[in-house]
Amino acid sequence: MFADYSTSELMSIFAMQGFAGLILFSVFVLMALGLAIIFGQMGVINMAHGEFMILGAYITYMTSNVFADYMPALFGSYFFVAMILAFIAAGALGMLVEWAMIRHLYHRPLDTLLATWGLSLILQQLYRTIFGAREVGVSLPDWLMGSIQLTDIVEVPINGIFVMTLAIGISIAIAALMYKSRWGIQVRSVVQNRPMAGAVGINTAKVDRLTFGLGCGIAGVAGSAFTMIGSTGPTSGQLYIVDTFLVVVFGGATSLLGTIASAFTISQAQSTMEFFLSGSMAKVLTLLFVVFILMLRPQGLFSLKMRK
Amino acid sequence: MSYDGLRSLLPKNDLLGFAVLALLLVVVLPLSLDIFRLNLVGKYLTYAFVALGLVLCWGYGGILSLGQGVFFGLGGYAMAMFLKLEASSPENTAIQSTPGIPDFMDWNQITELPWFWEPFNSLIFTVLAIVIIPSIFAYIIGVAMFKRRVGGVYFAIITQAVAAILTILIIGQQGYTGGVNGITDLRTLKGWDIRTDEAKYAFYFLCVFMLFVCLFIAQYVRKSKLGRLLVAMREMEDRVRFSGYDVSNFKIFVFCLGSAFAAIGGAMFTLQVGFMSPTFVGIVPSIEMVIFCAVGGRLSILGAVYGTLVVNWAKTTFSESFPELWLFAMGALFIAVVMAFPNGLAGLYNKYAAHHVEKLLGKKKGQSPDAKATVGTQGVAHERQ
């Protein structure tokens, strides 16, 4: 399949597809980070994660409309406001859900999966009722439009670069929060040994709620970023949920670094193959590859050595 | 089997349950419903096969598979491939550029029947394939997962990924599988028109018969030592392992059994509904099948049948009159069945109705809730990863 292309063309193809893969990578990372925190740290399967992401996307959509109608002068900066609002809204909903549902189900991980799936159905229908079944898109501010020409064939869109920067920035912030802050230490100690963490005076219920809220909030930000590169519909979140779970499991659920590494591997594999094969076969091969590796190495790429 | 053996397989309570279900499915429903509605019930019952398999895997074995749609689909597609080949005889497809191959292949410029379609010309091969192919597939997944002690949520996520892969593959390979429309326009089975009312009645009763065969197998597993071991494993896997059992083999067996049930259901589905499509394979239908099992009561094999009927009946009624409310209702059902009624309909029955029924039968009160109920409450409360 490579024979039809010259070497320089192949390099450019790899560069272009590699960059397209980087955008996919950013979405995966943003979604998977939230999921890795919730699943990896708390052991909760949140099937509604995609819907939290879409909540962020819809909030961004609404904010952009508000800015366009009332503050056209400030339109260039609406995205930052939208991102913060998306974080707060998704995080608040996440904490509410944790309080109402998840905290009763911590000892039944498979049941959280079913309950959150129910939640995702309800949210999807809610979005459909409020925003309609059609997909909505936001208009990008001027400074995010256009692209940078690198060589004759290779051209990178600015919104892609922005989303990528955002993904890197948020990953660093999360890593700092989990490994440098007092709160991160509390979260990790609750994960490792809940009764002992409680015994030394950590309010484990509160840590749980904040962790879940944080994970959902990041999903909201992911949704915000998602609007930069695609349109949003009530079921857009569901399309990504299986991929994202695979990213988290493949990376080794408890390791943030693993999550990022696996998001990178999966997105690059998929987007490079997409050029040579049909989109569906690329996806099938990628997923098969991941499932195969997981059968050989069930603990994922990076795993925390822990006595259970 | 001797009389005593039969009595231990079906104690009085279970016998009553089986008899009531048989009465309902064989006598009451066919007499009270027209053929259209009865055909719908038959379609619902095909999901009950899947739910039954899930009771064994999930309720007893603690293995939650979110990919049962895969096996349902494999069984259904195997049946559909046979029927499609029969419907695509050279006489029927004379107008195609290549007569004698299914119409969707012709539309996709395929000029020769692919090799994996060839064996489906034979009915005997097809019937065997319906049970064997999904079982082999389940065996491979099972060996790869359980021998490495992967279980719980990881298993759920991976089976879900398998469901996603198969759906994408079926939709993507339109020329070989019929794509998103699936395999449609099935006409005859060995020259016998499957679209007539007479055939629909026949398939309904065949479906009920097969369901009871599967129910008896499930009951046998439940009452056997294997059933006890499955429960023991779910509660405390390590202790069973330390007692000298190879835990993974039991899990693989029950997973294969569940997938074979699902595949039989899929084949029955194709026969009664007259087509098969990837909409019954993917992630969403697979999770819906879990909810049928959960609503019925994850520990009750008869509950699986009732749960499937109730949820699907509600789905049809709701989506006929309030299509928008259905997803809300379905979502609420998921949440309610997990949070409020983890033992489903069977749990409610054991709690509120069982002793009334027993009183009616003139039994002593002390004997009441059978082992199922006690195991049930503990089972859900102690579920482990």
Is the Cβ pair A128, B324 closer than 8 Å?
A: yes
Q: Annotate A141-157 with DSSP letters as a single string.
A: PGGG-SEEE-SSS-EEE
Residues 6 or more apart whose Cβ sits within 8 Å of residue A273: A281, A282, A285, A286
Per-residue pLDDT band for B2 (boundaries 50, 70, 90) equals low
Instruction: Pick left, alpha or beta for residue A278 (phi over 0 → left; psi -120 to 50 → alpha; otherwise beta).
Output: beta
Give the per-residue pLDDT at B369: 44
Q: How far is B50 from chain A (nearest CA, A)?
A: 17
Give the per-residue pLDDT at B372: 43
Check if the beta carbon of residue A209 is closer than 8 Å to that of residue A42: no
Q: Annotate A63-107 with DSSP letters as a single string.
A: HHHHHHHH-GGGGGGHHHHHHHHHHHHHHHHHHHHHHHTGGGGTT
User: Mean pLDDT across chain A, nearest whole number?
Assistant: 84
Of B153, B331, B332, the CB nearest to A45: B153
Is the Cβ pair B168, A109 closer than 8 Å?
A: no
Report strand pairing: B192-193 vs B188-189: antiparallel
Give yes or no for A293 touching B (CB within 8 A): no
Of B58, B169, B330, the CB nearest to A284: B169
Whether the pLDDT of residue B367 is over 70: the answer is no
End-to-end CA distance of chain B: 38
| DSSP 3-state of B241 | helix
State both tokens at B45. 């019952």
Give the per-residue pLDDT at B324: 78
Q: How far is B331 from chain A (nearest CA, A)?
A: 4
Q: How far apart are CA B369 and CA B350, in angstroms?
A: 7
Report strand pairing: B192-193 vs A155-157: unpaired
φ, ψ of residue B192 to 5 degrees: the values are -100, 120
Which of A14, A30, A4 is CA-nearest to residue A225?
A30
Of B171, B330, B385, the CB nearest to A121: B330
State both tokens at A241. 């949920």
pTM of the model: 0.86
Per-residue pLDDT band for A216 (boundaries 50, 70, 90) equals very high
**Per-domain boundaries in chain A:** 14-296
State both tokens at A183. 């709160």
How large is the angle between the packed helices B152-172 and B68-87, nearest 10 degrees? Answer: 20
Write down the CATH number for the domain with range A14-296: 1.10.3470
* Chain A residues within an 8 Å CB radius of B162: 291
Q: How far apart are CA B275 and CA B76, in angstroms?
A: 9
Q: How far is A125 from chain B (nearest CA, A)?
A: 6
Residues 6 or more apart whose Cβ sits within 8 Å of residue A169: none
Q: How far apart are CA A7 and CA A5, in angstroms?
A: 7
Residue of A nearest to B146 (CA): A295
Give the per-residue pLDDT at B368: 43
Which of B62, B54, B155, B153 is CA-nearest to residue B378?
B62
Per-residue pLDDT band for B51 (boundaries 50, 70, 90) equals very high
Q: How far apart are CA B348 and CA B294, in angstroms?
A: 12
Q: How far apart are CA B264 and CA B50, in angstroms?
A: 9
Q: How many angstroms separate the most distant Cα atoms in chain B?
A: 74
Q: How far apart are CA B291 and CA A121, in angstroms?
A: 13
Residue of A nearest to B174 (CA): A280
Q: How far apart are CA A44 and CA A35, in angstroms?
A: 9
Q: How far is B21 from chain A (nearest CA, A)?
A: 28
Which has more pLDDT, B180 or A88?
A88
Dihedral over Cα of B133, B134, B136, B140: its sign: positive
Give the per-residue pLDDT at A152: 67
Q: How far is B306 from chain A (nearest CA, A)?
A: 19
Residue of A nearest to B334 (CA): A118
Residues 6 or more apart whose Cβ sits within 8 Å of residue B235: B378, B379, B382, B384
Give the per-residue pLDDT at B377: 41
Q: Tell me the three-class secondary structure of B271-285, residue by residue.
A: HHHCCECHHHCCHHH
Per-residue pLDDT band for A307 (boundaries 50, 70, 90) equals very low
Give the per-residue pLDDT at B282: 86
Check if the beta carbon of residue A240 is closer than 8 Å to that of residue B151: no
What pLDDT digit, counting tens, does each position of B144-174 carry?
Answer: 888 887 777 888 888 988 999 999 899 888 8
Is the Cβ pair B156, A125 closer than 8 Å?
A: no
Q: How many angstroms separate the most distant Cα atoms in chain A?
A: 66
What pLDDT digit, counting tens, does each position of A272-306 carry?
Answer: 887 777 778 888 888 888 888 887 777 777 765 55
Is the Cβ pair A43, B328 closer than 8 Å?
A: no
What pLDDT digit, counting tens, does each position of B215-246 carry?
Answer: 999 999 988 888 888 888 888 888 888 988 88
Whether the pLDDT of residue A308 is over 60: the answer is no
Check if the beta carbon of residue B312 is closer than 8 Å to that of residue B47: yes
State the ipTM, two decimals. 0.83
Dihedral over Cα of B54, B383, A214, A258: its sign: negative
Cα distances (Å, whole numbers) of residue A265 to A20, A209, A270, B168: 13, 31, 8, 20
Of chain A residues 226-245, which have a CB less than 8 A from chain B?
Answer: 238, 242, 245
* Chain B residues within an 8 Å CB radius of A111: 338, 342, 383
Lowest mean pLDDT among A62-71, A73-82, B268-277, B304-313: A73-82
Q: How far apart are CA A151 and CA A9, in angstroms?
A: 11
* Chain A residues within an 8 Å CB radius of B152: 109-110
Q: Which residue in the block uniquely carries the two structure tokens 């030394």?
A: A200
